[in-house]
Structures are given as C-alpha cells and as structure tokens.
Amino acid sequence: MHNGAIMASEVRHLVDRGSEYPLVRLTGALDAGTAQAMRAALLDVLAEQPEAVLVDASELILPAPDAVSVLRDVRQETADWPAAHLALCDTRGAAAWPGIGWPVWPGPREALADLGRPDPDHRLHLALEPALGAARRARELITEACARWDRPELAGPACIVVTELVNNVVVHARTPMVVLVATHGSGLSVAVRDHSGIVPTFTGGPVPPTAYGGRGMLLIDSVAERWGNLRLGEGKVVWALLPDSEDPESASM
C-alpha cells in the first residue's frame, strides 16, 4: 500500500508500507520552511514502531545545513525510545549528510541486506476507544504477548504500565488510541499512541489529584527501565521499556 502527501513548499514524501520495512521516499528541495513538515512525517511513521524505517533521500535536493539538522533532531528525539532503527539511503553517500548521526546506505536494497528481515510476530498492536474496559483489553493483549514470547516474568510489570497509560487516555486525552507491545532484546516495550497533545506530568514528588498521569507515571517509573513521550504532528506516543530482570546485561543498564 502506498500513501503520499505533498508538504509545504517543494518537498514531497511517499510512504511505502508494502515493503519489508516502511520506506519513506523524499523528493524536491528541503529548506527551513519544510523541515518541520518532514519531521512530522517521519515521526508519524516511527510512531507505528516498525523494526526499522528506511528514508530514501537520493532524489532530495541537498539542503542548507540548518535544514539538514532536522534529521539529526529526529534521531536525538528518538534516541531513548525503543521504536525503530533509522536508515538513510542516498546514492551520494554519508558525505552528503554530515553530522546527522544516521547510518547511510547507497539504497534501500543495501539497507535491507544489512538489517535483515523484520519479525512481525514480535510486535502486536490493538486499537481501542477511550471507554470503560479499554485497560482490561490492553492487559489481555500484554498477557497474550508475554505468554507467546516466553516472558512470563514481565506480564505483571507490563500490565501495570499499560493500565496506567490506557487509563490516562480514557480519563484525560479522551481520544482513540493504539496500544503497541514488542520485544526489545530480552525485554519488552509498551507504548500507547493517542491524538491529544497533552503529555503526562512527572515530578517524583507529591501529585495533585487532577494531574495528568502523575500517580500513574510514578508507578511506571518504579517498574520501567526507562520511559518517555514523543510529540507527533497529531497527538503523542507515551512509551516504557521493561528489562528482563533475569538478564544481567539488562539489569545493569
């Protein structure tokens, strides 16, 4: 399936979700006026948490340095988020994109050869309405995933995380949501995407009763290795990474 969009000014992006990894093809001229639109397009694809996102910029007119920085910013914004590998494809090579921090391949074929095939069996998602029973259905997904992936010790902590994230959407955001759960090494990542720009608050101290996510984020902080949120063009993703407590490498991170 392909879906395309024309950004402001002279940049177009075409997202191919029919390939093994989502492939974003960029054409036109990137400048300061279109950089943020391109950022929003890339984050929208990343929010689906594929194993990798390929960005083919071979037909993009090389931009000014300040516009190039948008790719560096996207990488930095998602550095702690266990979502996807970012792969830039450009026949001109890494020299055309100095300082962005992305790995660069000559083309999608070469990137696919190095990344290997994705494993869709280790990523599940569930669309939910902000209604009574949403958290229960999300817990059922988590329980099924942990059993399928032989991670029974993570079912309890992951259910705590998903309950708090889903209930925050039901009570505060009040928009449709998507729950995403995936393996991450020997651990597990849990995320909830909604269509509200309001992000949960966390101070580590006393929380007002009406605070968005305050007490819930305290609970998440107590069981997760790390967690955070990513603002999108429309809404956000709030995520948490749960380590395998029996894995010495995860426990020491």
**Domains of the chain, residue spans:** 2-115, 120-251
Considering the four listed CATH numbers 3.30.70.20, 3.90.1150.10, 3.30.565.10, 3.40.50.620, the one that applies to the domain covering 120-251 is: 3.30.565.10
- Measuring CA to CA, how many Å separate 187 from each of 75, 152, 162? 22, 11, 15
Per-residue model confidence (pLDDT) at position 10? 67
Q: Which CATH architecture has domain 2-115?
A: 2-Layer Sandwich (3.30)
CA distance 107 to 38: 20
pTM of the model: 0.79
pLDDT in tens, 93-149: 998 888 888 999 999 999 999 988 888 788 899 999 999 999 999 999 999 999 999
Question: What phi and psi, each to the nearest 5 degrees, are found at residue 178?
Answer: -130, 125
